[in-house]
Amino acid sequence: MAACRRPSRRPPSAVASNAALRRDADALVLTGALDRAAVTALWPAASQALAGVHVLDLRGVERVDSAGVAFLAELVARLRARLSAEPTLLGSPTGLSELASAYRLTQTLDFQASPPPAAN
């Protein structure tokens, strides 16, 4: 009697992403959807491509999910530390402003801490 095999199923995170990145002078240009699968695939190249980057060009990004926002916030934080200045963000993909607001990030993707309580 032959063994019964179950069909293999790929988890949703294994779906191929259409996201990509490339350098264009001092810009890191991102395109496609920045979701969990894309972030996992892009992180190694993105983290290695930051030297000399002053601009994150998001005009080709279709949408972001929470993983995409975390990815962008981390890239901006690393650029901010390298530049000792605010990097330029170009574009606002679908989902970015809503999720940034929900996670209390500023428009420049910096964490917006609550003000300290007033001293009595």
Report if residue 36 sits inside a domain. Answer: yes
Report the chain's mean pLDDT, rounded to a whole number: 85
Question: What pLDDT score was predicted for residue 9?
Answer: 44
3-state DSSP assignment of residue 9: coil
Q: Is the pLDDT of residue 117 over 80?
A: no
Q: Give yes or no for a contact between 96 and 64, defined as CB atoms under 8 angstroms apart.
A: yes
Report if residue 87 sits inside a domain. Answer: yes
What's the pTM?
0.78
Report if residue 13 sits inside a domain. Answer: no
> What confidence tier does 70 reach under pLDDT thresholds 50, 70, 90?
very high
Distance (Å) of CA 113 to CA 29, 73, 108, 116: 29, 15, 14, 9
Nearest CA-CA partner of 68 in 106, 94, 41, 38: 38
6-22 pLDDT, tens per residue?
A: 444 434 334 457 999 99
Q: Is the pLDDT of residue 71 over 50?
A: yes
Q: Is 95 left (phi over 0), alpha (psi -120 to 50) or beta?
A: left
Q: Residue 34 belongs to a domain with what CATH number?
A: 3.30.750.24
Question: What pLDDT score was predicted for residue 10?
Answer: 39
Report if residue 53 sits inside a domain. Answer: yes
Question: What pLDDT score was predicted for residue 62?
Answer: 96
Distance (Å) of CA 28 to CA 2, 75, 88: 54, 10, 10
Domain with 37, as residue range(s), is: 19-102
What is the mean pLDDT of the segment spanning 73-84?
92
Nearest CA-CA partner of 107 in 73, 79, 84, 59: 73
- Per the structure, the count of domains in the chain is 1
